[in-house]
Each structure stands twice: as structure tokens, then as C-alpha cells.
Structure 1
Amino acid sequence: MSLYEFRRPSMIMVCEGMSLRVQVRDFEPKQAWPQPELSIAFGAVERSAVPDVRNIGEQVAYEISFRIADDVLDQISAGSPIEARFNDQSKAFLATPKAEAQAFSSGCAALLPPPLRRPN
């Protein structure tokens, strides 16, 4: 699922295997290694990790992965607000249309049996 701003991708979410991979674009990088953690709040549920950072065209992309979990999928499916925070910067993303959010969440949930999708 891709969320766009100004006709450019700003957040991309992909479920594959047992993981949900989230890529956020256009934060300013910190001139340090390793980079600080990227935190993504799906409504009341948050995931954080040190991101992989790369340039994609003219955009800087920050990517984290975590196990597919029902608490995150429930928030996505409900159309809860999504906010990303990195190095004292934050980005709020427009609500995803409910039908698309539910289809994405259902597809992700189908990749893992329910006992493996519990909050991690």
C-alpha cells in the first residue's frame, strides 16, 4: 500500500513472509551513524527501529521491518491515523480509504496464522 503527497510516494507498506516493511520518505538524515530510530505510530500502536537509509531518485527513504501483528493490522484496517517520527521530525499521513486499508490488512493477515500475529 502506498501513500502519496504531491504525486510522490511518502509512505510504502509491504507485507512479505512474516514481516511488514514500512518505508517513509523525505525526512532529513542525521549526520551520524547509526541513524536514530524511526518510530511509526499506527493509531495507538507504535513500532520503532533503526532504519535502513537509502536514496531513491531525489528522495531519501527510511525503512524498518517488524513481524506482522494483529494490533498493527487492526489500526490500519480501522483507518487510524499514521504518524512517523525521526530525529525530531514528524510526518502525519492522510487517512487511507477504508476499503483499501481493510484489503491491505486482510492480505497481510493471510500470510500468518493467528497465533503468530499477536502483538510482538
Structure 2
Amino acid sequence: MTIHCDEPLPLVHGVCRDRFRVPPGECSFKRQYAQLYVSRLSAARPHLVRASFEAWGAIKESEDIQNISPVKSPSKALKRMRPAIHNLAFLNLGETCVIIGILYKVGIAAVNFLMP
């Protein structure tokens, strides 16, 4: 079957096309980067943990971070201080720790050319 430019398209194409339309006011671009930030953080987290341990002198560059166990006694902690890495929900008052996460900065919204 050959369709020429002057022939109208069948009605089926018009019905399928409408299911991809987003009515005005229903689209939101506020959360469009959230998944991107989370995937970047999960990919960077092992490197950030290693870098924080190296910065605090807890490991040497040649050591494997998987083989390090948490320090229990204060005497060992003085020799090789390992900062705690917690979720923000589990922070302890006065504890030295490293926070690895996503920092959101609220800014003035620019003109959105995607909105109708």
C-alpha cells in the first residue's frame, strides 16, 4: 500500500498520537533531575568513602576498603581515626562523621521555554 501526501492518514494514527499528549498544567519539571542525582551518588559513593578514609588517614591508598572493620577501642582510634559515615537520620551529637549525600540548592527559577 502506498500513501501519497495528499491522502489523509487513517484515523488510527490520530487516536494513538493523542495518548502521548500532556494536558497543560499537568507536566512538572521539578523532579526531572532527582533520578539522575541518585544514580550519580550511588556510582560515586564508594570513591567518596575511600577518599574520606584516605583524607582522615584511616587507610592508605594501597589498602582495600572492604577489608577494614570498624574501630572499637579508643587506643586504636587514636592511631587510625576512621570517621563514621552515617545517614543524616542517624547522626549522633558530638560525633565526628562524614556526610555523603546530595545537596539541593534552591535558586530562582529561570524562564521555562518548555511550558506552553
TM-score normalized by the length of structure 1: 0.18
Task: State the structure with bigger RCO (CA 8 A, min sep 6), 1 or 2.
Answer: 1
Which structure has the highest strand share of the two? 1
User: Which has more helix, going by share of residues?
Assistant: 2
